[in-house]
Amino acid sequence: MSTTVRAPVGGMAAPLSAVPDPVFSAGMVGPGLAIDPPREPVVSVAPISGKIMKLHPHAFVIVGDDGRGVLVHLGIDTVQLKGEGFRVLATEGLRIGAGEPVVAWNPAAVEASGRSPVCPVVALDAPSEAVVPRAHGRIEAGDALFEWV
């Protein structure tokens, strides 16, 4: 069984090791990829179809019908912004399809606040060998980011 995890935002795909946060870059949360988004207002979309288990302005977790959870974190240390500059477009507990809007935000404003707008996309509780990258370089929201095998 394999799950295609799609890009929640467009930008430049990068390895998690490039994320300026030791917890994400060391893969402590789980394996995955990161996206460096454009510095303009964007809408983050669901990377998989499933149920929104956790929803904060700066991060969300969607769990698919197969029980696999994907974390999307919109920037680094963005919890410190207390939701400012983020607009939640979905509801926790809601079933959502891959590519449907979840949170609107502005990576340029995050960067202007002294934080990184890089977005880790993580396969929660997966072994590192379970993630096969599918994206390199410039990608669009909804493109295949990695395969969870």
Q: Could you give the CA distance from residue 73 to residue 110 in angstroms, rounded to a whole number?
A: 13
Give the pairing of strands 59-63 and 86-88.
unpaired
SS3 label, residue 8? coil
Q: Could you give the CA distance from residue 6 to residue 142 in angstroms, rounded to a whole number?
A: 5
The torsion region of residue 134 among left (phi > 0), alpha (psi -120 to 50) and beta comes to alpha
Which residues, in sequence order, are CB contacts of 64 under 8 Å at separation 6+? 3, 48, 49, 50, 70
Q: Could you give the CA distance from residue 145 to residue 149 in angstroms, rounded to a whole number?
A: 13
Which residue of the set 56, 58, 73, 136 is catalytic? 73
Active site residue 136: no
Residues designated as active site: 73
